[in-house]
Structure 1
């Protein structure tokens, strides 16, 4: 974990080195000031030597300026190093997330990743700055002050030693107890962020069902859990200050009482006593700084683990050595394919799938909810790897391709359509960043999206709100289809991507595909038989298996499930899930 985090210091190593150097210099200067002050009192004030006072006063002023400069430089480099460290952590996490396969992403919730990129990294940033500055300054100040105190009077300095041992044991006790609570706190933050995210994403549903009070109550519960965990942790941490103050005042009383007796006895001077009191404050303030570092490190320990998890997570899918860079054609072959989302699953999602699809064919896929239609097509672009068997595109196993090359030739319009904030053109150019406006218009005509775009005030320069909230479901689907077509793919997969489109527009899209991109293999997942009836062949999925594969006419003759759905839909109003295994129409 530590190695993972320190690897992100990178170009900020110099600043990370200079920060403790300047902090140590500041400590050395601060340690010298009490010595000069003691000399000033013993040989200047008590002797009445004004010139000596001026001389030592000038030295103290120079030391103070030197302490100020080194302190400022230490703070500057510390802030620079910690901010850069946090930037690199966020970059490393975000970059690694982009390499994740779907199975990797399934391990982390969206809310958890957001918490790790924000709250957890901020905790580490603060902890890193504290370690560079306070974790260097406090021990250095403690050691220097203790050495000077023993040099002046070992008997009185032993009081410091007792105080240091007592406080050290107490801090270890607090740290061990509080760490557990802080680790739980950040897990509760995930729940809090999840509640906010879910509520904002579904705000229209919340308002439609008048559930604002329910959502508010749910959020308050999440807030209360975070509050309760913080209270438990802080109850332990706040004990630090009163114990620290008790120790400071006890030391001052002990030094004053013992020092006064020694001054009367002639074994200690007034200046030396004042220096010892100053070093007392230095030592105990150093312990207080260390306690603050311990608290921050305690809080950030859980954050460090969570951030390291994201950085160290290795993508389940990787490019092979000497990958194939070109996809020859759009032919697809499934050879005895089994697939499970988890390796330890007892029952596979897809079972013994055998398919052979020719380049340029239009293949319809129909099946009930949970029949693994989407799982089937996800294997083609290698969003997941098969558990056994093989999937071939263009005659080559998809695992032998460079993933970017494969996915550039296998365009997928997913069941959940996503548009990004930006203009229509910017969204379309996700398919091809160098596409001209004319090319964008062309694919929009194929996807029947140009009709509504031309009616918009700014046409192709119309701004799309985040998530595409200012366009309808059908319009969003057509824009996503156009975006996929811009890739000029050899395989086009439409995962129930025309469900929000009216029947007439759906027919126009299918006709345009047949006429304009005949060489592209098209796989269309649909619930309406009318959407796939004219396909070259149709796959009927049932509980992870292929129940039937053939033309519409062939399935009408020999596939009972297909017959039931067709008859119910011709009759009007039926869908696959309602009629599968139901009463024959």
Structure 2
């Protein structure tokens, strides 16, 4: 509840206006039966039409004011509620953007999506009820009880007899709904996970003819979600008929004993009708409040899941007073760097790595799968922080930079080329917001992407579907490379970014890159020896250790691991 009200208090003016509308609406609702009683007892009973007309016009005025306040309440409540969820989702997105890889792994992408969408939606539904019914019902209930006691103390006993049963039912339902709500949201996480895997891996599933297996897998989690939801909805659905049953019993008793009192002359007809109206408002308000109360466990579960995201302190913290500018550009120095993934400090994936890379140099990394190549270069933009040792760029430890300044020095091309929905131009401007058309064309030319882009009907304005599925793997890699080139960074980091290119395109691209990056530092992770054999320095990794460092020819002579890799890819002539 604290999370929800913290966001509500950010809009204090709307919250106050909402309360005033509620208070005015309650006065109108309770004023009508009071005026009706006056009309019947003083006007109709005494055959005084002047009183009837006077009170009638008062009731019309009260009704009009009530309609205006009711509409105002709906408008203000909707604006306040949507504002709460808007700010909540924005804060979640802002914090998620600060997450390191560790936090993404801890939560899981599917869970983060569920928390930002469905959990926030559950909170929105509850807050919508609170801002309308949650304010109205307690005040209406108390005011109605006062009017009940004032109108006929003798009949009030029936209301107080029914209240304990109503409270007990409300508490029982709330108790059982909490664990069901928790399981429901977890089942939704699992459903989103399987659905996301299924959609992203659709080609693999079809290639292995595993459609039926995936259908059964989804059916299991969907069935668990449906079963749990059915239990929750049945529990909630049972509340209304039970409340109405008790409500009707109370009304029958009130009318029965009220009729007896009218017959005895101790109660007037108008007062009985007003009393019934007050009871209706009191019990119906309580029932609505009970509905809000029963929604609370589910909303509380969702709010707690949202708060978990908001409370996370990322493992990679930005240095707010960090360095923003340096004299040199592109000097990288690894000094006895070791790294272990969080929670696995006893088994580091990189051990005591030291090397220096200077502007104009190309440094390549090669090794068997799992040797730590990609992990090593991900330490440079601080996707992870080193466990021991230090990484310095231009003489400054990467942890002493402001993250934005550090990453602006780097043009990073990931192992898996990621394109965003939009156009080709939008994706290129992701590297440089103010990029001109000429700059984009130049970057595409260097990345060997001009030919296939020019063949697209709309050229730079050609739409890119989600994940870039309307482009081939090689085309996506070249567009990702162009996106990094366009920002002209001091450091280029290619994480196996040429793997989908044919040998001819690979050679032409590297040739153009060599001319483009004469003043930049280039780091390349590769599996193909032909991609890196002309590098100024090649670092060979094996199970996290540096087992060789030098040029292609030097390593062929003095590094057995490199020679084994090269001999599996090159001819005897090329090995000489």
Aligned runs of 1:199-214 on 2, under 5 Å? 199-214=198-213
Deviations along 1:31-63, one digit per CA (max 9) or x if unpaired, are 122222222222222222222222222222222
Aligned runs of 1:405-444 on 2, under 5 Å? 405-444=405-444
Contact 1:13 1:81 in 2 (8 A): no
Contact 1:495 1:526 in 2 (8 A): yes
Contact 2:349 2:544 in 1 (8 A): yes
> Partners of 1:17 and 1:341 in 2: how far apart?
50
Say if 2:347 is the partner of 1:347. yes
Q: CA deviation at 1:376?
A: 0.2
- Equivalent residue for 2:547? 547
Q: CA deviation at 1:208?
A: 3.3
> Partners of 1:90 and 1:304 in 2: how far apart?
12
Q: CA deviation at 1:142?
A: 0.7
Deviations along 1:192-243, one digit per CA (max 9) or x if unpaired, are 2222222222223333333333333322222211111111222322221122
Say if 2:488 is the partner of 1:488. yes
RMSD: 1.9
- Equivalent residue for 1:30? 29
Say if 2:491 is the partner of 1:469. no
- Equivalent residue for 2:276? 277
- Equivalent residue for 1:534? 534
For the residue of structure 1 that corresponds to 2:107, the secondary structure is coil
> Partners of 1:505 and 1:372 in 2: how far apart?
27
> Partners of 1:323 and 1:503 in 2: how far apart?
42
Contact 1:183 1:301 in 2 (8 A): no
Q: CA deviation at 1:392?
A: 0.6
- Equivalent residue for 1:312? 311
Deviations along 1:264-303, one digit per CA (max 9) or x if unpaired, are 3332222222222111111110111112211322221111
For the residue of structure 2 that corresponds to 1:107, the secondary structure is helix
Deviations along 1:57-100, one digit per CA (max 9) or x if unpaired, are 22222222222221111111111111111111121111222222
Which segment drifts farther, 435-444 or 132-141? Answer: 435-444
Aligned runs of 1:344-383 on 2, under 5 Å? 345-383=345-383
> Partners of 1:271 and 1:66 in 2: how far apart?
23
Structure 1 unaligned blocks of 5 or more: 573-585
Contact 1:5 1:308 in 2 (8 A): no
Q: CA deviation at 1:338?
A: 1.8
Contact 2:4 2:123 in 1 (8 A): no
Q: Aligned in 2, Cα 1:56/1:322: closer, same or farther, shift over 3 Å?
A: closer
For the residue of structure 1 that corresponds to 2:93, the secondary structure is helix
Which segment drifts farther, 422-431 or 138-147? Answer: 422-431
Q: Aligned in 2, Cα 1:531/1:161: closer, same or farther, shift over 3 Å?
A: same
Aligned runs of 1:489-568 on 2, under 5 Å? 489-568=489-568
Structure 2 unaligned blocks of 5 or more: none
> Partners of 1:505 and 1:169 in 2: how far apart?
75
Q: CA deviation at 1:174?
A: 0.9
- Equivalent residue for 1:227? 226
Query: Which TM-score applies when normalising by structure 2?
Result: 0.95
Deviations along 1:437-477, one digit per CA (max 9) or x if unpaired, are 22222222222222332333333333322222222111111
Query: Which TM-score applies when normalising by structure 1?
Result: 0.93
Deviations along 1:111-143, one digit per CA (max 9) or x if unpaired, are 222222221112111211211110111111111
